[in-house]
Amino acid sequence: MNRTRLVRMRGEGGFGTIVGLVLLVLVSIALVKIVPLHVKGNNVYDAMQEQANFGTVKRFEKIQYDIYQVAQENGVPLPLNEIKISKMGANIKIEAKYRTSVKVLGYEYVYEFDKVVEKPIF
């Protein structure tokens, strides 16, 4: 009697394993396409923060071009005219804005980068 019950139970967990593996593969594919967009955006944001420290030393055009260069090195579609730098009292304000998209499993994921860095000028 025990043997017949064990024979019927064999292989019943296979469907759940297959579904789990398929979900794991789908999530992995999505992450491989989406995460690089965020990493590149963070590289541009880091460059904005770094360049804001040079507000008194560099001209605004040079700061703008340096941020643009970092964006180009990372393959980010950030136009030069979308990097805006202004001085507000004792602060420097750097704004950058771009939008990019990638197709993930038939769905179009849109990444919108709209960051502002504001730091005091020493």
Alpha helix stretches (DSSP H) within the chain = 2-9, 14-52, 60-73
More confident residue, 6 or 105: 105
Is residue 104 pLDDT above 60, yes or no? yes
In this structure, the strands spanning 91-104 and 83-88 are antiparallel
15-41 pLDDT, tens digit per residue, is: 888 999 999 999 999 999 999 999 999
50-90 pLDDT, tens digit per residue, is: 999 988 899 999 999 999 999 999 999 999 999 999 998 88
pTM: 0.81
Which CB contacts under 8 angstroms, 24+ apart, belong to 70-73?
A: 70/43, 70/44, 71/44, 71/47, 71/96, 71/98
With cut-offs at 50, 70 and 90, classify the pLDDT of residue 122. Answer: confident
